[in-house]
Chains A and B, each alone.
Chain A
Amino acid sequence: MTMTADPQSRPADRTAASGGHSVEIRDLDLQFGAVKVLQKLNLDVHEGEFLVLLGSSGCGKSTLLNCIAGLLEPTDGQIFIKGRNVTWEEPSNRGIGMVFQSYALYPQMSVRGNLSFGLKNARFSRDEIERRVSRAAEILQIQPLLDRKPGALSGGQRQRVAIGRALVRDVDVFLFDEPLSNLDAKLRADLRVELKRLHSRLRNTMIYVTHDQVEAMTLADRIAIMKGGEIMQLASPDEIYNRPKNRYVADFIGSPSMNFLEGQLQGETFRKDDLSLPMVGYDWASRPQGERGAIVGIRPEHVITGELVAGAPVRAEVVADVVEPMGSDTLVWGTLGGEAFRIRMDGNARVKEGDRLPIGIDPSRASLFDSRTELRL
């Protein structure tokens, strides 16, 4: 093993080499001067997994990705790719390909030149280069563009070429830094689907940075939600959406975002003013005892309305404050228990501002957080 020669090698490294993991990050620290951007970050990415790093602007997603790529030197910690310690390895020797937000195509080279640049640097034979370029061009359907310069391509075509540049390298791990965010909405949706298709065809490990939740939810096998250089939760999209680990994640995921009501948890019943929510069917992380401050989170789309209210476990009433019809559905803003409360209803629901709206709540779909630690209960 190469890593036994590494002077920083610790006994813990051995577990890093165990199979199934494509990228492993151990206690990664990164500082820019005095600013700590990443702190003691640990992350395991499975073989063939599509992992999305999601977080608000400035939380360190790009920094983490650049560390994995070897474009930034970490202050401390280790990075393994396919069990090999690549912490001190050059970007080109890590077995990664990277796609950038601004495409970063070499402007003076043709598409073919862009695709083959890395292969030429790695001294591949001309036949091999030709073979790989035409394969990538075929996969991405850019064969007719091969002899054009990047300046003569549309945004979507450029991004395809940028993906092709990673593709020809035949690497184990693909790194994407917000590859679709410079494209318009329709093209973004198209390319998103194409990326998903590409992943199911190639089965490479992909690490994908975005701050678009739709991309994250649709593409990811697992999502890592980041905040302030730390990973808040690493789980499947379903888990993140339905069982957010803390209030930040709950608030971050979902649009419009989750409604929060702050009150008291007595036994297994949440109370706020005259609202009482017995948490029947709720999947407790740890069964509560006694009384404590708690926050209940209810997604706007999980609020029961219309005829179904009659059969709901808990019923209440909300006064519609603002009604936003959005075609496919209607968003109603109101107040419940003295706090702002959003409800997502069907697109053809007839609601007027000022209406008193009977609603139902299903506690089994709600989330409960401790009001002090903000962790899921």
Chain B
Amino acid sequence: MSDIGMLNTVKAAEDPVRRVLDGPRGARPKRTFSRTNIFLYGTLIVVALYYLLPLYVMLVTSVKGMPEIRAGNVFAPPLEITFQPWVKAWAEACTGVNCEGLSRGFWNSVRILIPSVLLSISIALVSGYTLSKWKFKGSEVFFTILIVGAFIPYQVMLYPIVIILRDVGNFLGVQLFGSLTGLVLVHSVFGMPILTLLFRNYFASIPEELFKAARVDGAGFWGILFRIMLPMSLPILVVAIILQVTGIWNDFLFGVVYTRADSYPMTVQLNNIVNSVQGIKEYNVNMAATLLTGLVPLFVYFVSGKLFVRGIAAGAVKG
């Protein structure tokens, strides 16, 4: 009996046909040009081109000279590359009487951006942490009010805030309305609802027992926040930073309403350059100015794209 069995197995191993008939084995072969793949990648390429085309047009236009622009087709690559439009956009373009280019607006935006981002994220971090881990009587009501705030259109609050800034400024003896400080405050307040929600949900997803363990270990409110929670919050911090940097940098409405000409942020100044009525339209300078203004958000996306997606997922799914 056993001899026959052994004979069979030996035969099976020797017979190549038998081995193929054994069925599939190992990694499944993949076809590169399957119909699904062609359809999938085709769609992706078309969509990508659709989004990249305007960027391409802007880039090439910004390095062409005016004669070439007037003469040629917008999609044509530049015959002669010149960086003059970029220099002009940054340092020489005129808005009304002053001709300092975008540079002044850039530095205004930086001076608005940094304190606004830091302030709004710090406040939202602490409130989100409190609302998820140190609930107090009425904390849910508080949270609801905050979230409702997120759904009120900005336009409704525009003028009331003007009054608040003016009166509070007068009362305190500092200039709030028409100054960078005022704008920083406005940005911080408007960032609160969404950021608080973000942080609250993220912290809510951190297990309760971890928090309890830290309390048994003698960590208090701040100790737990800084030593336990924050080191675990990198993804959500990145999300918050990206949201705020791009949101505040791209803001136009608040900038135009709450600041004066000498402290306009970059976006407002860009608008003034592009829409300036005097002289001929310098498309190349306008394109360069627009690209310059968009560089900061672009840079932020490129640097942190991966973390951004991960953090959004973490914040959105749980809590």
Contact flag A92-B218 (CB < 8 Å), given A107-B232, A108-B232: yes
Q: CA separation between A104 and B212, bound complex, in Å?
A: 8
B217 and A104 within 8 A (CB): no
Which bucket holds chain A's interface residue count? Answer: 20 to 34
Contact of B29 with A by CB under 8 A: no
Contact of B215 with A by CB under 8 A: yes
Among residues 64 to 119 in chain A, which have CB atoms less than 8 Å away from a CB atom of chain B?
66, 69-71, 90-92, 96-98, 100-102, 104-108, 117-118
* B212, B219, B228 pick with most chain A CB within 10 angstroms: B212
Contact of A122 with B by CB under 8 A: yes
A117's partner among B207, B209, B219 (CB-CB below 8 A) is B219
Contact of A121 with B by CB under 8 A: yes
A106: chain B residues at CB < 8 Å are: 210, 213-214, 228
Contact of A165 with B by CB under 8 A: yes
B217: chain A residues at CB < 8 Å are: 92, 117-118, 121, 165, 169
A100 and B218 within 8 A (CB): no
| Contact count A vs B, C-beta below 8 Å | 56
B227 and A104 within 8 A (CB): no
User: Dominant SS at the B interface?
Assistant: helix
In the complex formed, the residue of B with least CB distance to A100 is: B209
A91 and B227 within 8 A (CB): no
B67: chain A residues at CB < 8 Å are: none
Contact of B231 with A by CB under 8 A: yes
B21: chain A residues at CB < 8 Å are: none
B214: chain A residues at CB < 8 Å are: 106, 117
B209: chain A residues at CB < 8 Å are: 100-102, 104
B216's partner among A98, A102, A105, A108 (CB-CB below 8 A) is A98
Q: CA separation between A98 and B211, bound complex, in Å?
A: 12
B223 and A98 within 8 A (CB): no
Q: How near does chain A come to B212, taking the closest CB pair, in angstroms?
A: 5
Quick one: CB contact mask for B200-239 with A, threshold 8 Å, 1 for yes? Answer: 0000000101101111111100010001100110000000
Q: Which residues of B contact A (CB under 8 A)?
A: 207, 209-210, 212-219, 223, 227-228, 231-232
Q: Which residues of A contact B (CB under 8 A)?
A: 66, 69-71, 90-92, 96-98, 100-102, 104-108, 117-118, 121-122, 165, 169
Name 20 A/B residue pairs within 8 A (Cβ), A-sorted. A66-B212, A69-B212, A69-B216, A70-B215, A71-B215, A71-B216, A91-B215, A91-B216, A97-B216, A98-B212, A98-B216, A100-B212, A104-B210, A104-B212, A108-B232, A117-B217, A118-B216, A118-B218, A121-B219, A165-B217
